[in-house]
Amino acid sequence: MSIAPLVLRAATDITANPAPDAYFSGPVQMEVLARPDSFACETLRVNFPPGGRTGWHTHPVGQILIVIAGQGIVATRDGARRMSVGDVVEIPADVEHWHGAAPDTPMTHVAVQPGGATQWLELVDDADYIRLCERAAP
C-alpha cells in the first residue's frame, strides 16, 4: 500500500557518518534524518562522546535542539547551560553558540535547522570547554 506523497525512511536505512573534524571535536557521529526537497529544513541526529562538541557556529534562521540521550552543554559567548534528556533548546538566528556532551557522559540530540547553511567559526579549545562546563548553570 502506497503512502505517497509521504516519505518514510526506515531506521535501518539511516546511516551514521563521522562529523567533519574542521567543525567538531572528538569522534562525533551525525545521521541525516530528513532533508526534504519541498522546503528548506535539515534534521540531524548527532551522537557526541564524552567531551565531544561542535565548534562555535551560527544558523541564519536559528536551530532547535532536542536532547534524547545523556547530558550535554550548550553555550553562547555570554554563558553556558547544562542539557538533559527531554530538554529542548531554541537558538535564535545568528547567535554564536556551540553544543556537545558533558565531560563524563555521551549525549545525543536531534538538531532541526531550517533554511540556510551553518556558518562555522573557530573550534572550542579544551581550556574554554572545561571552563564553560564548570560554569554551566543547571
How far is 55 from 37, CA to CA, in rounded Å? 28
Average pLDDT, the chain: 95
How far is 37 from 108, CA to CA, in rounded Å? 26
Residue-wise pLDDT for 90-123, tens only, equals 999 999 999 999 999 999 999 999 988 999 999 9
Residue-wise pLDDT for 29-52, tens only, equals 999 999 988 888 999 999 999 999
- Domains annotated for the chain, with CATH where assigned, are 11-135 (2.60.120.10)
**pLDDT computed for residue 22 by the predictor:** 97
How far is 71 from 53, CA to CA, in rounded Å? 12
DSSP E strands, 50-128: 53-54, 57-58, 63-76, 79-84, 88-91, 97-101, 107-114, 119-120
How far is 9 from 76, CA to CA, in rounded Å? 34
> Which has the closest alpha carbon to 42: 21, 28, 60?
60
Global pTM? 0.93
